Structure 1
Amino acid sequence: MTFFSALLRLKYRYFEGSDIVPFTALLLNASVAFTGFYLISKLYHSEHFGPFRFRGFLIGLLTGAIGLFLMMNAVQVNGEVRVDLRYLPLVLLAFYGARFPLLIATMIVASTRFLFGVTDQAVIAFIATFIVSVGMWWIHRHIHHLLWQSMLLHVWALFVTSVSIFINLGWDTAYIELVLTFWTVGLLVGTLASLLAIDLEKATQRAKAYKHSAERDHLTGLFNRRMWEERTLSLVSERRTYNILALDIDHFKHVNDTYGHPNGDLVLKRFAELLKIETRAHDIVARIGGEEFVILIYDLSPEKVAKVAERIRKRIAAEAFTLSDGTTIQISVSIGIAHGNALPVESMSSLADTALYEAKDQGRNRTVVRHANAHRLIPH
């Protein structure tokens, strides 16, 4: 029996009186799965659906729903055995390494098989679904070449499904014909799905890289001047109390002249790391010039923001900055702070600069706070 004659014989063996043959039904499954691939990928990479834990829950539910739809449109081999491509959405989650969504989707896909009857075949399908997911997770962890990984995910799912079909049907002509169809469609769809998943992933990573390069300072990874201006554009309309911290490394030109610009870059990178460590996740930290940095801090009183600035200043002064040859140097920083409520960022930035210059005039390595609304000075 040739491969193609086996496919033709399928048309008449199982689906007499039906308009849908196995090949067509499996292709319908594949089309739905491709749509699901796109939706799941967009949701996975989106930042508009809350934290990833919540997003992961939504992704798991969506994947489970797609798997259920694929089961409802399965190929009914006989009165008890059904064959479909429910594993396809699970492949994408395994490809992304989305463990939590994969667990949720696996539980949904496996358990909803019992909606079609509590039978031995349903129990076998339930167990097979978990075996598929566990194996796919192992493949994701150990195979790192994207194309090979994606293809092996599909082959593993096809293999486990074929074994479960064998347990249900036994080894006969019917089994061979059905599995030939299943593997033909599965490999075709798997190849296309692999290419689609890789293309979506690479396109997403390129978009993230472009976005990062447009928003971030290339040396320190902090926001650049353009993003600082964009993030502070709505400060007046937000009607919130906020603080602008202007920071300048003392005598940084001397560092560059003495140790060279490459070592100066090392100092700047470590300086930026310390700023990120000493500020909150929602504070906005940016590098706007050579050794000039700014920080936006919301909702702190002048006294509290002065304590934050002093903590930063003392941390910088105590840090041993390592140079390329292993030697260490110490530096200091002057900080000017503008505190106000619902004021234009231009006015607050100018006031912070004024406070910074005053800190330098007083001998550097100190913090000066200016209250924009009351025009009062709080030295430290």
Structure 2
Amino acid sequence: MWKIIFIVELLVNACIAFTGFYIISKIIHSTHFSSSTTTSVIIGLATGLLGVLLMFKGIQVNESLRMDLRHLPLVLLAFYGNRFPLVIATLIIGGSRFLFGITPQAFVAFVAIIAISTGMVYIHRKLFNRPFRQNLSLNIWALLMITFAVLINLGFTDASLRLLLATWTIGLAVGVLSSLLTLDFQMLNRQVELYKQSAERDHLTGLYNRRVWDTRTAGLEQEGRIYNVLALDIDHFKHVNDTYGHGNGDLVLKQFANILMEETRPHDVTARIGGEEFMILVYDLAPSKVNKVANRIRERIANERFQLDGFPAITVTTSIGIAHGKHVHIQQMNVLADEALYTAKQQGRNRTILFDQADQQDIAASHSSTETTT
């Protein structure tokens, strides 16, 4: 009878473990939480509760012995390198052992869980680039620590040896399956991320593409927030392509995009619209402040040495048009920014022109007196 119970409980525990792995992996790769700390705490709590559930369920090895798979959730966190969640989960799983009584056996089990997690951190660092070997090593390390704990608590008895035989057999079988499942999750999430980047990012510069720009700016006039649209392009970029080749033109575009990323805030939307044309969405800045931001970008670019392949480094300049407004449709703001950019070009390039929709007037920003060309 106990053999039937053993098979049923083994399947139940495996289903619990795999379902928990799936849910935790989804949380790990989720972008819906407000901060990384919040995500880490949720992951740690979820993993700890999964370990406690596996401990309480257990598997009936025979009429008198039970084992559990509480270590498997820790393997998952160690594999992903989530150290803070690993600490939380370790304390929850280890501390829950005292619910059965504050005994020397409980203390040994607690120390074993701490040792398992500590060793896992080292294994993850050493085998980071060998995922399957890493995952297998994490499982073996956990089983070794469990072995020491069982031998300390039960001694070298027939009961402890039977328990360890079942623990290693089931632990390795379920551990290998969970390793393959974890690797499959990781590969799937990497593919999803690659597809997402391919759909959202410009292939050359890594900035957002036109489709993301249109999506992220849709409905801005309904948000009731002040926002600014910056239109930029590289002055005389055709001359760069004609003189140094399109390959070097691509190098200039990449370096130009890197500067834009460095000079804008993480929540600003920076996109390459096409060719040498770029757009930046900047929230909540008054005309004077966004004007300073634009001129900082312009001056940084003018002072930068752009590295080329097979030619000496060159300098380039940028012209910037800004539309500032509130409750204005994004298409109109784009047109106003483009018109301001065109005005900057007409006035000699390497300068910033700001159009304040509220005042219905163009404001010429500070600019260099001498145009820089290549």
| Per-residue deviation, 1:179 | 1.3
Instruction: Verify: 1:43 aligned to 2:1, yes or no.
Output: no
The corresponding residue for 1:138 is 122
Instruction: Verify: 1:344 aligned to 2:311, yes or no.
Output: no
Instruction: Verify: 1:261 aligned to 2:255, yes or no.
Output: no
The corresponding residue for 2:42 is 58
The corresponding residue for 2:370 is none
Instruction: Verify: 1:274 aligned to 2:249, yes or no.
Output: no
CA contact (8 A) 2:119 2:141 kept: yes
1:220-253 Cα deviation digits (max 9, x unpaired): 1000001000000020111211111100100011
| Whole-angstrom CA distance in 2 between matches of 1:290 and 1:76 | 67
| Whole-angstrom CA distance in 1 between matches of 2:210 and 2:59 | 58
Q: 1:193 aligns with which of 178, 201, 205?
A: 178
C-alpha RMSD over aligned residues? 1.9
The corresponding residue for 2:368 is none
| Per-residue deviation, 1:75 | 4.8
1:188-210 Cα deviation digits (max 9, x unpaired): 10111011000001000100100
Normalised by the length of structure 2, the TM-score is 0.93
| Per-residue deviation, 1:354 | 0.6
Q: 1:364 aligns with which of 343, 349, 366?
A: 349
Normalised by the length of structure 1, the TM-score is 0.92
Amino acid at match of 1:245: L
| Whole-angstrom CA distance in 1 between matches of 2:182 and 2:328 | 47
The corresponding residue for 1:68 is 52
| Whole-angstrom CA distance in 2 between matches of 1:262 and 1:108 | 56
The corresponding residue for 2:133 is 148
1:320-349 Cα deviation digits (max 9, x unpaired): 111123621000000011111111111111
The corresponding residue for 1:89 is 73
Amino acid at match of 2:94: A
Amino acid at match of 1:90: L
Q: 2:209 aligns with which of 224, 231, 234?
A: 224
| Per-residue deviation, 1:34 | 1.2
Of 366-375 and 214-223, more deviation after overlay is shown by 366-375
CA contact (8 A) 2:61 2:166 kept: no
The corresponding residue for 2:219 is 234
| Per-residue deviation, 1:180 | 1.4
Amino acid at match of 1:37: F
CA contact (8 A) 1:26 1:85 kept: no
| Whole-angstrom CA distance in 2 between matches of 1:273 and 1:59 | 33
Instruction: Verify: 1:214 aligned to 2:199, yes or no.
Output: yes
| Whole-angstrom CA distance in 2 between matches of 1:120 and 1:75 | 23
> Identical aligned pairs, as a percentage?
55
The SS at the match of 2:362 is: strand
The SS at the match of 1:321 is: coil
| Per-residue deviation, 1:49 | 1.9
1:84-141 Cα deviation digits (max 9, x unpaired): 1100111100010000100100011111110111111101100000111111111111
Q: 1:353 aligns with which of 330, 335, 338?
A: 338
> Any stretches of 5+ residues in structure 2 without a counterpart?
366-374
1:343-364 Cα deviation digits (max 9, x unpaired): 1111111111111011000000
